[in-house]
Chains A and B, each alone.
Chain A
Amino acid sequence: MSKRVLCELCPTECQLDNYQIGGCRTRINKDGVLLSLVYGKPCAVAVDPIEKKPFFHFLPATTAFSIATAGCVLGCKFCQNWQISQANPEETRNQDLPPEDVVRQAAYYGCRSITYTYTEPTVFYEYMFDTARIARKMNIRNTMHSCGYIKEKPLRLLAKYLDAADIDLKAFTEDFYSRICGGRLKPVLDSLVALKQEGVWLEITNLVIPTLNDDMKTIREMCRWIVKNLGPEVPIHFSRFFPHYRLKDLPPTPPETVLLARNTALEAGIKYAYIGNVRGEAENTYCPQCRKLLIERIGYMVNQNRLNNGRCKTCGTTVAGVWQ
């Protein structure tokens, strides 16, 4: 009855009594053995443009076979996918899709990559890990969109098979992570550094929420931290918030705020800053040297790509990213 198990996957470190399910809703202690309830059981499967993840500097205009299972390691009040991230796996409609079939389907649909996304891929770590290993053998790239709330050991092990990661840096204060997400900021920053060290292509997404994390001083501080610890070439996406889940009382982010955040990032030394959920020129990639238009986007669609082997056609400057 008292065979306690410690889950060492995420910084929450749940200590589970027998038959107790972790805070992520997907891991159970059954007679002293930790089991994943969602291995091979995705509740969301789709073929998406890679720009939707969002990845702007990773195989542009290609498609990504995207999967997710129920559950999440955090409980963000603004979650845009709360119907599945805050649901138990026994409540969602799941498919039977073992790792081999994920890779097979990705190849069938002509996807250059598989993305572990929508909810938090850490909760289906074993499924993601095994799929990524098979995909690597089949020359299909592996990417994930994650909150980065994972412990260092499993992250570094996964990084061996990971080609790119888009990490949600939800804010730059411990208070925000504690009050709004039920987590901590420090482990996320550690994950960003670890991914960079492991050579995984990194992009960052920051959802700008009115009154909660739209203070430009803090955004500047965050961008300076990125420049100092990850380098100025890590693209950052400032996304517009729309009221969801438990933050329905807040208005959508004014587009001007998102643009202001982008300008703040550029001023802080970030070379590639974008906006999300808002249409405009700030969705495009410009050469950091000569400022010429390199990739023109409208939403998730790439209108034109003027990169030549990852270089600006006009001045020859190398643009950081994975282009082929």
Chain B
Amino acid sequence: MTEQKKFRLVILFAVVLTALVILQNVAKEYFMADLEGYLTRRLYYERTISKKGLSGQKGMHWREQE
């Protein structure tokens, strides 16, 4: 492998790494936070609320009476 080829490989690796880091940050900011929040809420509902026998009555059914 020539020195030039090695250099290109390093550059390519750096570019790919940078792109991955940016992607991960974007995903964390916009998608993962949403997913994490959703999972936390869903788990709380399934593990705690749904087992307490609370009602699941449709809210705002008064709107149908307007």
Contacts and interface: CB of A to CB of B under 8 A. Distances in A.
Interface of A: 1-2, 7-9, 17-21, 27-28, 30, 33-41, 89-90, 94, 125-127, 129, 153-154, 157-158
A7 B58 CA distance: 12
Interface of B: 34-35, 37-38, 41-42, 44-45, 48-49, 52, 54-63, 65-66
A17 B48 contact: no
Contacts of A9: 59-60
B41 A18 contact: yes
A129 B38 CA distance: 31
A112 B54 CA distance: 29
18 contacts: A9-B59, A17-B37, A18-B41, A19-B41, A19-B45, A37-B49, A37-B55, A37-B56, A39-B57, A40-B55, A41-B55, A89-B54, A90-B48, A125-B59, A125-B62, A126-B60, A153-B66, A157-B62
Given A35-B57, A37-B55, 12 more contacts: A17-B34, A18-B42, A19-B38, A19-B45, A30-B45, A34-B58, A89-B52, A89-B54, A90-B49, A126-B58, A127-B57, A129-B62
A305 to B, nearest CB: 37
Given A1-B35, A20-B41, A28-B45, A34 B60 contact: yes
Contacts of A89: 52, 54
Among B44, B45, B66: residue with most chain A CB under 10 A: B45
Given A37-B49, A126-B59, A2 B54 contact: no
A2 B55 contact: no
Contacts of A127: 57
Contacts of A41: 54-55
Contact of B34 (A1, A27, A34): A1
A157 to B, nearest CB: 5
B43 to A, nearest CB: 9
A8 B66 contact: no
Contact of A90 (B41, B52, B56, B61): B52
A90 B54 contact: yes
Given A2-B34, A20-B41, A153-B66, A35 B58 contact: yes
A1 B42 CA distance: 10
Contacts of B60: 7-9, 34, 126
A36 B66 CA distance: 19
